[in-house]
């Protein structure tokens, strides 16, 4: 009997703990994309049925003036609350009907009844397409480029501002392209971003079927893209988003430039809903493939302010320059180097330094620099550094000032030309191996002493009647003409910087080869190949007057051929370059291989020296 009483008490205690749930509640909410009550014909809107503490499941409602596309359970939750030993449970279920407005008019939905609980009434109005709050909201969100093109046809405006759908694209998945600035200066770094928006549950991004069209831009592709999906509210709807492409672009011309979006392919599963007479609303997923294209963008590119400084470097961004002199102990005819490093962000790869031969003392000869670029695109620009390694050789002993070097660049943030200065140096040059310039030039000497004639008497014929007499007047005139001609040729040669570099290209290459030979003896193979490459590239750059930025295999082959070098010589030169480039990064090689490469490099430079290469523009 006692055990039976215990069971009865336990059952009563359970009923007490569970208590009575809160009263049922049924609410209807009509939600639009604009957040307003008015809905445009053709606009998609949503009807939410919120059930609290009602166990029954509602059917799809009939929405006047609209078509119900599908109806499904959106969310479900339950909770339990305890107060003074009394526990109350509550349960909430939300169903959503996705509708498309089809007929103008004012409508009321409800009250509906389920399980004896009545809902509220929800009113809404369907207005003519293009006259409701959704259109006004979209017009406010239009880009400046689109607002400027309001005079275009509706089809033109749609193509300019909205995503394009090719195949089976729709409002549930699209791409948006954006640019960091729609008005910029020439050569200014801009960020072009493509973002994917999707309301599909699973998506598989297959990739781009073509590249964007950046006509009038130099492009650097950035790795700063999304590795996971993020959620964002756009036009009143929540989408899963991801940055799928980002480029740093540099406009190369002024005016209105257009970036045309490219096509991307995305695979997903689309959920279809249908009403079954026995099982109510059912859904099924089927795979679909969508090809979508982001909107085109127009950028207004302004010219850099004028007048431009005479020493403008071409840099647009924010930069600084510094210098270093690794070896301050200088000797005549012995090469040394000075390094200028430009750091910052912007069009870093296109910054140029002034011609140092026009700035340095004339007693110091400066050669074409070796450039090392360490710059990567990221964030909103390209950042890093560029190192200019100049080789130079003092020609005479003495104390000289290596001047400061000023880098002039344009800062888009301030809209002004700004300057950064690299420090200069005072150097003392000691005596080294004599160069040809420092040797004493032979001068023409003329003996002006009168000729002594012995035995001259009255019966001798006067000298004025003899040819030898007039030679003393003619010869000085001829000598004066010859000296004047030689002097003018020397002045012309000194003014011909390109010709001077071409003539001295072989001598500079020989110095580099000597340094390579020293590295070979020391067993320093990496430095050996560096010196060999510097000798080869430096020789052909100076011989053909090719700027460092244009030194590449194709350019060198074309210029050598047009300068008169045979195909055999060109192929041999490129072959030696390739061997040096490959061997530099290949596993260690023996001394015999180094000797072979050295011999081939010296031979091909000698063959090019024996070939009379035409100067650029010479016929």
Domain CATH for 593: 1.20.120
pTM of the model: 0.43
Distances (CA, A) of 467 to 24, 357, 404, 464: 141, 52, 64, 8
**Whole-angstrom distance, CA of residue 40 vs CA of residue 130:** 7
Over 60: is that where the pLDDT of 434 sits?
no
**Whole-angstrom distance, CA of residue 336 vs CA of residue 328:** 9
Write down which residue in 430, 462, 477 finishes a domain. 430
User: In percent, how much of the chain has pLDDT > 70?
Assistant: 74
Give the range among 181-185, 301-305, 311-315, 596-600 with minimum mean pLDDT.
596-600
β-bridge mates for residue 385, sequence order: 343, 374
Answer yes or no: do 577 and 537 share one domain: yes
pLDDT in tens, 451-505: 454 544 455 567 767 777 777 878 888 888 888 888 777 776 655 555 566 667 7
pLDDT band at 299; cut points 50, 70, 90: very high
Name the average pLDDT for the chain: 77
> What is the domain range of residue 507?
497-610
Answer yes or no: do 197 and 249 share one domain: yes
**Whole-angstrom distance, CA of residue 209 vs CA of residue 213:** 13
Hey, which of 64-78, 248-262, 548-562 has the most confident mean pLDDT? 248-262
Please tell me which residue, 302 or 209, carries the higher pLDDT value.
302
Q: What is the pLDDT of residue 588?
A: 61
Looking at the domain assignment, is residue 564 inside a domain? yes
Q: What is the pLDDT of residue 84?
A: 59
Segment 424-431 shows an average pLDDT of 89
Over 90: is that where the pLDDT of 105 sits?
yes
Q: What is the pLDDT of residue 24?
A: 82
The answer to whether residues 370 and 326 touch, using CB atoms and an 8 Å cutoff, is no
Segment 439-447 shows an average pLDDT of 38
Both tokens assigned to 505? 């290209």
pLDDT in tens, 355-409: 888 889 998 889 888 888 888 777 668 888 999 999 888 888 888 889 999 999 9
pLDDT in tens, 512-532: 888 888 888 888 878 888 888
Answer yes or no: do 291 and 317 share one domain: no
Answer yes or no: do 173 and 289 share one domain: yes
Answer yes or no: do 262 and 343 share one domain: no
Helices (H) and strands (E) in the chain, counts: 10, 32
Sequence-ordered list of residues with C-beta below 8 angstroms from that of 566, at least 6 positions apart, any chain: 611
Both tokens assigned to 158? 């749609």
pLDDT band at 126; cut points 50, 70, 90: very high
Looking at the domain assignment, is residue 472 inside a domain? no
Q: What is the pLDDT of residue 420?
A: 94
**Beta pairing, strands 255-260 & 217-221:** unpaired
**Whole-angstrom distance, CA of residue 49 vs CA of residue 117:** 13
Count of beta carbons in the 10 Å neighbourhood of residue 604: 21
Q: What is the pLDDT of residue 104?
A: 93
Sequence-ordered list of residues with C-beta below 8 angstroms from that of 380, at least 6 positions apart, any chain: 180, 189, 191, 248
**Whole-angstrom distance, CA of residue 89 vs CA of residue 83:** 12
Q: What is the pLDDT of residue 161?
A: 41
Answer yes or no: do 115 and 156 share one domain: no
Looking at the domain assignment, is residue 295 inside a domain? yes
Q: What is the pLDDT of residue 449?
A: 47
pLDDT in tens, 16-56: 434 444 578 888 888 776 667 789 898 888 888 888 888 88
Count of beta carbons in the 10 Å neighbourhood of residue 579: 18
Residue among 49, 138, 137 at smallest CA distance from 99: 49
pLDDT in tens, 313-333: 889 999 999 999 988 788 888
Q: What is the pLDDT of residue 442?
A: 36
Write down which residue in 430, 459, 480 finishes a domain. 430
How buried is residue 245: exposed, middle or buried, by Cβ count under 10 Å (0-12/13-18/19+)?
A: buried
Answer yes or no: do 385 and 283 share one domain: no
Residue among 100, 123, 141 at smallest CA distance from 38: 123
Answer yes or no: do 425 and 363 share one domain: yes
pLDDT band at 107; cut points 50, 70, 90: very high
Residue among 121, 124, 21, 115 at smallest CA distance from 59: 115
Distances (CA, A) of 558 to 66, 188, 321, 574: 71, 32, 35, 12
Please tell me which residue, 256 or 585, carries the higher pLDDT value.
256
Over 70: is that where the pLDDT of 450 sits?
no
Q: What is the pLDDT of residue 31?
A: 79
**Whole-angstrom distance, CA of residue 96 vs CA of residue 82:** 31
Write down which residue in 302, 326, 360 finishes a domain. 302
Cα 583 to chain centroid distance, Å, stands at: 31
Residue among 47, 134, 136, 131 at smallest CA distance from 97: 47
User: In percent, how much of the chain has pLDDT > 90?
Assistant: 13
Domain CATH for 86: 2.60.40
Q: What is the DSSP letter of 170?
A: B
**Whole-angstrom distance, CA of residue 452 vs CA of residue 462:** 15
**Whole-angstrom distance, CA of residue 295 vs CA of residue 192:** 12
Please tell me which residue, 311 or 525, carries the higher pLDDT value.
311
Looking at the domain assignment, is residue 138 inside a domain? no
- Show the CA angle centred on residue 100, arms to residues 94 and 101, nearest 5°: 115
Looking at the domain assignment, is residue 390 inside a domain? yes
- Main-chain dihedrals φ then ψ at residue 238, nearest 5 degrees: -100, 130
Looking at the domain assignment, is residue 36 inside a domain? yes
Q: What is the pLDDT of residue 72?
A: 77
pLDDT band at 127; cut points 50, 70, 90: very high
Residue among 33, 399, 381, 318 at smallest CA distance from 190: 381
Q: How many domains does the chain have?
A: 4
Over 50: is that where the pLDDT of 184 sits?
yes
Answer yes or no: do 155 and 274 share one domain: yes
Residue 345: enclosing H or E segment and its boundaries? strand 336-346
Both tokens assigned to 403? 């001047």
Answer yes or no: do 209 and 327 share one domain: no
Place of tokens 């961004």: 317
Looking at the domain assignment, is residue 451 inside a domain? no
Answer yes or no: do 106 and 214 share one domain: no
Over 50: is that where the pLDDT of 296 sits?
yes
Residue among 30, 237, 40 at smallest CA distance from 134: 40
Using DSSP, state whether 253 is helix, strand or coil. coil
Angle between helices 567-585 and 525-543 (to 10 degrees): 150
Q: What is the pLDDT of residue 471?
A: 79
Place of tokens 């070097």: 405
Q: What is the pLDDT of residue 516?
A: 84
Residue 219: enclosing H or E segment and its boundaries? strand 217-221
Please tell me which residue, 533 or 7, carries the higher pLDDT value.
533
Answer yes or no: do 231 and 188 share one domain: yes
Looking at the domain assignment, is residue 462 inside a domain? no
Please tell me which residue, 200 or 177, carries the higher pLDDT value.
177
């Amino acid at each position: 009997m006692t055990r039976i009483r215990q069971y009865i008490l336990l059952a009563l205690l359970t009923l007490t703990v569970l208590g009575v749930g809160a009263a049922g509640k049924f609410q209807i909410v009509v939600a639009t994309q604009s957040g307003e009550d008015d809905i445009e014909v053709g606009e998609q809107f949503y009807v939410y049925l919120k059930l609290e503490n009602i166990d029954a499941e509602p059917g799809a409602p009939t929405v006047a003036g609209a078509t119900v596309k599908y109806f499904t359970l959106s969310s479900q939750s339950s909770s339990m609350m305890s107060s003074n030993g009394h526990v109350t449970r509550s349960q909430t279920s939300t169903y959503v009907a996705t509708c498309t407005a089809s007929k103008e008019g004012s409508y009321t939905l409800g009250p509906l009844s389920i399980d004896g609980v009545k809902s509220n009434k929800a009113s809404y109005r369907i207005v003519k397409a293009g006259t409701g709050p959704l259109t006004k909201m979209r017009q406010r969100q239009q880009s400046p480029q689109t607002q400027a093109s309001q005079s275009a046809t509706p089809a033109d405006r749609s193509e300019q501002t909205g995503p394009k759908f090719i195949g089976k694209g729709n409002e549930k998945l699209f791409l948006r392209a954006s640019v960091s600035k729609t008005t910029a200066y020439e050569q200014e770094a801009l960020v072009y971003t493509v973002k994917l928006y999707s309301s599909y549950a699973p998506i598989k991004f297959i990739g781009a079927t073509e590249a964007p069209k950046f006509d009038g831009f130099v492009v650097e592709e950035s790795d700063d893209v999304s590795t996971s999906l993020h959620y964002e509210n756009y036009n009143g709807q929540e989408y899963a988003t991801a940055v799928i492409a980002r480029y740093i672009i540099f406009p190369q011309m002024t005016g209105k430039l257009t970036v045309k979006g490219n096509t991307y392919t995305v695979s997903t599963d689309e959920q279809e809903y249908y009403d079954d007479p026995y099982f109510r609303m059912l859904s099924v997923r089927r795979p679909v493939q969508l090809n979508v294209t982001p909107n085109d963008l127009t950028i207004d590119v302004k010219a850099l302010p004028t007048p431009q400084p005479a020493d403008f470097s071409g840099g647009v961004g924010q930069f600084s320059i510094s210098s270093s002199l690794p070896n301050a102990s200088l000797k005549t005819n012995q090469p040394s180097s000075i390094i200028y490093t430009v750091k910052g962000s912007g069009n870093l790869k296109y910054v140029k330094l002034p011609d140092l031969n026009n700035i340095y003392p004339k007693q110091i000869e400066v050669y074409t620099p070796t450039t090392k670029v360490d710059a990567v695109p990221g964030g909103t620009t390209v950042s890093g550094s560029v190192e200019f390694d100049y080789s130079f050789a003092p020609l005479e002993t003495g104390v000289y000032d290596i001047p400061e070097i000023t880098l002039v660049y344009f800062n888009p943030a301030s809209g002004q030309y700004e300057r950064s200065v690299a420090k200069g140096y005072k150097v003392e040059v000691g005596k080294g191996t004599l160069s040809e310039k420092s040797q004493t030039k032979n001068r023409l000497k003329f003996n002006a002493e009168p000729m002594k004639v012995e035995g001259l008497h009255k019966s001798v014929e006067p000298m004025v009647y003899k040819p030898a007499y007039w030679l003393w007047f003619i010869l000085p005139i001829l000598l004066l003409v010859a000296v004047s001609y030689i002097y003018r040729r020397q002045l012309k040669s000194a003014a011909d910087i390109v010709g001077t570099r071409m003539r001295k290209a072989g001598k500079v290459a020989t110095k580099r080869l000597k340094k390579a030979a020293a590295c070979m003896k020391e067993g320093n193979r990496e430095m050996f190949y560096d010196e060999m490459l510097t000798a080869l590239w430096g020789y052909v750059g100076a011989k053909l007057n090719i700027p460092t930025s244009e030194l590449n295999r194709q350019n060198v082959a074309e210029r050598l051929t047009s300068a008169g070098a045979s195909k055999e010589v060109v192929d041999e030169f490129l072959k030696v370059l390739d061997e040096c480039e490959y061997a530099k990064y290949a596993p260690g090689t023996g001394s015999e291989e180094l000797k072979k490469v050295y011999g081939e490099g010296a031979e091909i430079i000698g063959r090019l020296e024996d070939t009379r290469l035409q100067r650029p523009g010479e016929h």
